Homo-oligomer: A and B are copies of this chain.
Amino acid sequence: MPRRSEHSLDEIRALALDAVEDLVASHGPTAISARKVAAQIGYTVGMLYHVFDNVDDLVLQANARLVDQLARANEAAAAGNRPQRVIARMAHNYLSLARQAPARWQLVFVHTMRDGRPVPDWYRQRTDRLFALVEEQLQRLAPRRRPAAAALAARTLWSSVHGICLLAVSDKLDIGGSTSAEKALDSLLTHYLGSWAQSR
């Protein structure tokens, strides 16, 4: 039975985002539909579309919570340490988050916009912030290198870290078996950053 007037729109928004997280945790990252989320919180689909533009908006707002959680952890890691150490902490924060909430974490990557629409600017700004945090540390590590070099290195490292975390979480390719994800992350960062900082 749909509820009426029990919550403010902001509260309905928060309930719906919690419901996305619960559904994904229980049934995997492809389990989201407006109908299921509405049913879970006891409101109509019409009310859901009063609060969110569409399903993409609902999923992106849920994903933004995770992106922001990582950004906060990475900002805390940035305080007063050597840049190599900071980047290593950021990578391990990423792994912790992937392990802690594997399905929610995968939703960030599994989600694609309906009808080939572009990702909205507000969301892109949130993910850009994550890259900017890594680029800042790379610039501290090698102040003379150009911003374009730091941008490429940040994206190379980020995708590499993502691959290691993904294979660790999904228990593939022997990462997690005899090779631990932690060792692979440390090996990646030691060698990549060691060489990158010294090249021109």
Q: How many copies does the complex hold?
A: 2
Q: Write the A133-158 contact mask toward B (1 if CB under 8 angstroms, else 0).
A: 00000000000000000011101101
Give residues 177-200 of A contacting B (CB, 8 Å).
Answer: 178-179, 183-184, 187-188, 190-196, 199
Per the bound structure, the CA–CA distance linking A171 and B172 in Å amounts to 22
A75 CB within 8 Å of chain B: no
CB distance from A146 to the nearest CB of B (A): 14
Partner of A152, one of B155, B163, B173, B184: B184
CB pair A173–B199 under 8 Å, yes or no, is: no
Main secondary structure of the interface of A (DSSP, over half): helix
CB pair A163–B159 under 8 Å, yes or no, is: yes
Chain B residues whose CB sits within 8 angstroms of the CB of A155 once the complex forms: 173-175, 179, 184
Per the bound structure, the CA–CA distance linking A199 and B151 in Å amounts to 26
A109 CB within 8 Å of chain B: yes
Per the bound structure, the CA–CA distance linking A194 and B199 in Å amounts to 11
CB distance from A87 to the nearest CB of B (A): 13
A170 CB within 8 Å of chain B: yes
- Given that A162-B166, A162-B167, A172-B109 are known contacts, is A156 also in contact with B195, CB under 8 Å in the complex? no
CB distance from A83 to the nearest CB of B (A): 15
CB pair B159–A164 under 8 Å, yes or no, is: yes
A43 CB within 8 Å of chain B: no
A54 CB within 8 Å of chain B: no
Q: A residues within 8 Å of B by Cβ?
A: 30, 109, 112, 127, 131, 151-153, 155-156, 158-164, 166-168, 170-175, 178-179, 183-184, 187-188, 190-196, 199
